[in-house]
Amino acid sequence: MSPTPQYAWPSLSQRIGAEVWVKHENHSPTGSFKVRGAITFMDWLQRAHPDSPGIITATRGNHGQGQARAARAAGLRAVVYAPLGNSVEKNAAMRAFGAELIEFGTDFDSAKTEALRMSASEGLTFVPPFHPELVRGVATYAFELLLAVPDLDTLYVPIGCGSGICGCITARDALGRDTKIVGVVSDRATGAKQSFEAGRVIETSDAATFADGVAVRVPVPDALTIYSAGTERIIAISDDAVAEAIRVYYSDTHNLAEGAGALPLAALMQEREAMAGKKVGVILCGGNIDAAWFQTVMQGRTPTV
């Protein structure tokens, strides 16, 4: 894939009172940053396990699109589990990229458990939500951004299973930058924030947010180890604030942002006084929002799940 752009949109910067750089991962071949990790994971799989007939994984949509695209390009099967009631349009996109889609369970974590259970009987390589090879690929978006804008004061990054924020930490440290990294979660899926503050994995009972890319109940221990050491802080954002950030993205940049993609901007809007006059970055990690949800948001309301 080609590098994605980063732009400092003047309307957005004027609104915030800071120089705001947007990293446009919504411009990737699947509309999400996840495709980067899929490319590097599939490269590793073909070298480390050349006899593997394909992969099996679980997703809310963006990870699955990337894995299906990379697997099919390599001539391999891609079996993808998604929870019941998942995004209709993300499901359609996964099938279009070649995924054999199976809907199972009430949320991402239950779909993940089933995909792992089925990997042995299917003879397929299980792709976890967090893996060093996924981080290796995902880190390239932060590498691009920090090469282009080397003096960012603060970078806001959403946290689901953690590959994105760990990739940002990896790239920042490799480049020797001083950029502070702030993690952002939904206030309806706070496992990463609670775990960060407690210093141990804390599971939540649910993760019912329309920011489906971060709707994770069970934090990944290996990811927690990395972002606990390399993150400035983690803040939680309401679904109403996410919906407002989607509207701001559209009005100020005419870009679509899905819920998880708007989380960083929502966090920056919440912290605009502290960031006044600084050079800051936000990751628009994906733009794959269903039309019905987007219509609801643009009517001034917040989607319910």
Residue 182: the pLDDT is 98
Q: Which amino acid is at 226?
A: I
Q: Which of 283, 269, 24 is nearest to 157 (CA)?
A: 283
Contacts of 98 (CB under 8 A, 6+ apart): 68, 69, 71, 72, 78
The parts of the chain modelled with pLDDT lower than 70 are none
| Cα distance between residue 211 and residue 242, in whole Å | 8
C-alpha to C-alpha distance for 56 and 77, rounded to whole angstroms: 8
- What are the pLDDT digits (tens) for 177-205? 999 999 999 999 999 999 999 999 999 99
Question: What was the pLDDT predicted at 58?
Answer: 97
Return the pLDDT at 238. Answer: 98
Domain segments of the chain as ranges = 6-32+132-298, 35-127
Long-range contacts, 186-189 (Cβ 8 Å, 24+):
186/211, 186/214, 186/215, 186/236, 186/237, 186/238, 186/239, 186/242, 186/259, 186/263, 187/236, 187/237, 187/238, 187/239, 188/215, 188/239, 189/214, 189/215, 189/216, 189/217
Q: Could you check whether 6-32+132-298 and 35-127 share the same CATH topology?
A: yes
Query: Thinking of the domain 35-127, which architecture would CATH place it in?
Result: 3-Layer(aba) Sandwich (3.40)
Confirm or reject CATH 3.40.50.300 for domain 6-32+132-298, answering yes or no: no
The pLDDT value given to residue 187: 98
Q: What is the pLDDT, as a whole number, of residue 255?
A: 98
